[in-house]
Amino acid sequence: QTSFYGRFRHFLDIIDPRTLFVTESRLKEAVQLLEDYKHGTLPPGVTNKELWGAQKIKQAIIHPDTNETIFMPFRMSGMVVGLLLPNQTLASTVFWQWLNQSHNACVNYANRNATKPSPTSKFIQGYLGAVISAVSIAVGLNVLVQRANKFTPATRLLIQRFVPFPAVASANICNVVLMRHTELEEGIDVLDNNGNIVGSSRIAAKHALLETALTRVVLPMPILVLPPIIMSILEKTSLLRSRPRMILPVQSLVCLAAFGLALPLAISLFPQMSEVST
């Protein structure tokens, strides 16, 4: 995972939607297989492919700090596609922004840096800040677009489809900073080359928060920019014009493809274990 390509391949495995449906018994088998490998007690006949499969399952489901199972909807392979539905009303905009930020808050908490305990009040503060910022920006931009008389109805609709991106990007930053603000005050654990904790650093916390915030800005770009462009083209085809009920399934498939590209692309920007100079 020292190169961007290596990290991209690694995270492409982690976001595999199939890991959402791994049973408890299969998870235990994967963890046990890795433990056997670590202690040199592997049963005969175990292949490299099986070991990598076990590693994929563990990294997608088990939190690296707490070794606890991450609740299924809040793993990295979960997604929300309602933000990209066409012809949204004010009520639907508010609902989907609220649902998306609720999901984001839970994902942030479930995949947090757990080396330092954080009070529940910080989680609530981050959640409320993200929801308020996302909803206010999305609604404000929608109102501005509606009042822009210079745009044709078609242009106005196209612009409205891009409104979720600035709303989600700014809310993601707000969510991360508010929910992990304690780390800036108390620092996070830093390790030596052997994995031993050597102290707590506020500089490392600032470094980690900045990388996480940048990742959360890059993450929604392909998801919220590519599908509107693709769907604006596909909706003009005779297939979708004659079968309007197909728009939502097609939209979901386009979003799934964009999500499959965007998530490993974004979280591969920086290594999981970053380095800072002493």
76 alpha carbon, distance to own chain's centre: 6
Take residue 240 and report the two structure tokens written for it: 């979708």
Considering the domain architecture, whether residues 9 and 126 belong to the same structural domain is answered as no
Considering the domain architecture, whether residues 211 and 96 belong to the same structural domain is answered as yes
Residue 268 lies in a domain: no
Q: Give the C-alpha separation, 227 to 240, whole Å.
A: 15
Considering the domain architecture, whether residues 120 and 199 belong to the same structural domain is answered as yes
Residue 181 lies in a domain: yes
Q: Give the C-alpha separation, 107 to 73, whole Å.
A: 8
Of 220, 242, 263, the one marking the end of a domain is: 220
Q: Give the C-alpha separation, 266 to 263, whole Å.
A: 5
Q: Helix, strand or coil for residue 232?
A: helix
Nearest to 205 by CA among 104, 106, 112: 112
Gyration radius from the chain CA atoms: 21
Q: What is the pLDDT of residue 173?
A: 83
Considering the domain architecture, whether residues 53 and 96 belong to the same structural domain is answered as no
pTM of the model: 0.62
Helix pair angle (220-234, 247-267), 10° resolution: 150
Considering the domain architecture, whether residues 132 and 63 belong to the same structural domain is answered as no
Considering the domain architecture, whether residues 100 and 159 belong to the same structural domain is answered as yes
Residue 258 lies in a domain: no
- Polymer length of the chain: 278
Q: Helix, strand or coil for residue 228?
A: helix
Q: What is the pLDDT of residue 101?
A: 74
Q: What is the pLDDT of residue 149?
A: 66
Those residues with Cβ within 8 angstroms of residue 186's Cβ, 6 or more apart along the chain or in another chain: 116, 200, 202, 205
- Residues of the chain scoring pLDDT < 70: 1, 10-11, 13-15, 65-66, 73-88, 108, 111-118, 145-146, 148-149, 156-158
Q: What is the pLDDT of residue 270?
A: 87
Those residues with Cβ within 8 angstroms of residue 240's Cβ, 6 or more apart along the chain or in another chain: 234, 246, 247, 250
Q: What is the pLDDT of residue 87?
A: 61
Question: Is the torsion defined by CA of 145, 146, 149, 154 positive or negative?
Answer: positive
Of 202, 220, 238, the one marking the end of a domain is: 220
Q: What is the pLDDT of residue 61?
A: 80
Considering the domain architecture, whether residues 119 and 151 belong to the same structural domain is answered as yes
Q: What is the pLDDT of residue 260?
A: 76
Considering the domain architecture, whether residues 22 and 136 belong to the same structural domain is answered as no
Considering the domain architecture, whether residues 60 and 141 belong to the same structural domain is answered as no
Residue 83 lies in a domain: no
Residue 17 is part of which domain span?
4-74
Number of domains the chain is built from: 2
Q: What is the pLDDT of residue 78?
A: 57
HSE of 36, CA atoms in CB hemisphere, 13 A: 15
- DSSP string for residues in 112-143: S-TTS---HHHHHHHHHHHHHHHHHHHHHHHH
HSE of 95, CA atoms in CB hemisphere, 13 A: 9
